[in-house]
Amino acid sequence: MFHFVNNNKQELQLNEQNMPKHIAIIMDGNGRWAAKRALPKKAGHRAGAKTLENISQSAIDLGIEHLTVYAFSTENWKRSDEEVKGIMDLLREYLKNYIDRAKKDNVRVHIIGDVTRLDEDIQQQIVELEQLTKHKTGMSLHIALNYGGRDELLRAIRKVSEDVANGKYQPEEIGEEQLEQYLDTKEIPDPELLIRTSGEERISNFLLWQIAYTELSFTEKLWPDFTEQDLKQAIYQYQNRERRFGGR
């Protein structure tokens, strides 16, 4: 599993002792993948959902503890009604499959983002799936839905302000650790590696607080074309960079 051949046909080996515990992925390029094949956008998102299943399995096989994926951002509502509906229908299907499989899988599924804006039936599926999987001990899959890093920080700041106003904290007691308890990602270690597909080199409002020291990996591959080998290549890159965290 830790051995692989990269795109230049070099045989490489991942260091099992230095695997990232948490990988975050911006799954970009579904639309272009579909356009290249003269298919409707929804076919691109469907292919993207399939890739997500495959890559989750690869991450499990590699012993990754947390995988966080950007499935729908706070900005994605600006897309056409048809596209938003298409993604939401895929999401329903995806969540249902997960609920059906939850018994035999050992994956904990957790949603980050403001789910209150999603349709009621999707919110119910989320509650059910999180409940069914909350004691699972294998990988945690965090799916970002109606998620924005700024929105997450604003929601956290509002809650902190309430707790300051009602006397739970003095303002000077709020440090990084306290603020983190108000984020959607509380109790999840920060990602060591963030991957974005499709050649765009932007963060697009994903995990703004959490990626302060994260290694970034950009690939030209469109998300539906992203493979286990590409995941290993990104981990290899990460393992061969020096992380200094501002020190020397």
Give the range of 15-23, 58-66, 87-95, 230-238 binding ligand FPP by CB under 6 A. Answer: 87-95
- Per-residue binder mask for ligand FPP (CB under 6 A), 171-210, x = binder: ---------------------------x------------
Rounded Cα–Cα distance for residues 118 and 131 (Å)? 18
| SS3 track for 179-221 | HHCCCCCCCCCCCCEEEECCCCCCCCCCCCCCCCCCEEEECCC
Q: Which of 6, 76, 163, 205 is catalytic?
A: 76
Q: Which of 7, 15, 18, 28 is catalytic?
A: 28
String of DSSP letters for 81-144: HHHHHHHHHHHHHHHHHHHHHTTT--PEEEEES-GGGS-HHHHHHHHHHHHHHTT--S-EEEEE
For tokens 């990104």, the residue is 234
Q: Tell me whether residue 28 is one of the annotated catalytic residues.
A: yes
Rounded Cα–Cα distance for residues 169 and 163 (Å)? 6
C-beta neighbour count of 99 within 10 angstroms: 16
Q: Tell me whether residue 106 is one of the annotated catalytic residues.
A: no
Instruction: Check binding of 29 to ligand FPP (CB under 6 A).
Output: yes
Nearer to ligand FPP, 120 or 242 (CB): 120
Q: Which 113-172 residues touch ligand FPP, going by CB under 6 A?
A: 143
Give the range of 1-9, 23-31, 107-115, 228-236 binding ligand FPP by CB under 6 A. Answer: 23-31
List of residues contacting ligand FPP (CB under 6 A) = 27-32, 45, 48-49, 52, 71, 76, 87, 90-91, 94, 143, 198, 223
Active site (catalytic) residues: 28, 76
